Amino acid sequence: MNPQELVLVVPTDVLHALGLFQGFCAQVERYLPGLLDPEVLRFLPRGQVEEDPGYKQLIPYVLFCWRGSAAGEPHLFHYRRGTGQGERRLHALRSVGVGGHINPVDTIGGESPFEAGRRREIEEEVLLDRPYPVQTVGLINDDATPVGRVHLGVVSLVEVDSPQAVRPRENDLLDCGFAPAEQLLHQAHEFETWSQICMQALFGSGRAWRRGGVVA
């Protein structure tokens, strides 16, 4: 971790004002406009905010889904984090999410910093066989862990056409591939907390997501 790296944050009070939640929330339209309001966003040194729960570092968290059979059984891209990944507290854990911090470089161009940062993170971490639509499906807030207390995840889903559509670009995405979501749910204890939350919310028994969108 570079403590001098500038990362995009939102004051935690903004989340509280919109309605504090624990775990996964599918109410994107309720939260995202307020959280991404340029009036409340700022870039602060990562070393300053890593231990300060007064700010939430905004993290795009992108899942890749492939429908593996005629019945449409969802398969998720998954990997194991290597030691070169930025957050040392997540090293060696498995993940279904691709993403990272939003930096000042993401303010260049016509996109919002969040959209530009999400696109950059996807391009840095994986190779796609072609462009695919990106759907924002929810948010993650996990105040039960030290990592979660200072981060806020914005969860997006990309549906791809084949298991060959996504390949790792970073060397620290280890043991990559697609596997049935049901299988990964049975192995959830091997995954980082955000992945556990996402898989259960989107693909578990009480899932909030179905093909084509989020269930309200």
Q: Where are the domains of the chain?
A: 6-210
Beta strands in the chain (DSSP E): 6-11, 23-25, 42-45, 55-67, 74-81, 94-95, 126-128, 135-141, 151-160, 166-168, 173-180, 209-210, 213-214
Class of domain 6-210 as given by CATH: alpha beta
The structure's pTM equals 0.89
What three-state secondary structure class fits 41?
A: coil
Per-residue pLDDT, 205: 74
Containing 156, the helix (H) or strand (E) segment is strand 151-160
Per-residue pLDDT, 215: 43
Residue 89 has pLDDT above 80, yes or no: no
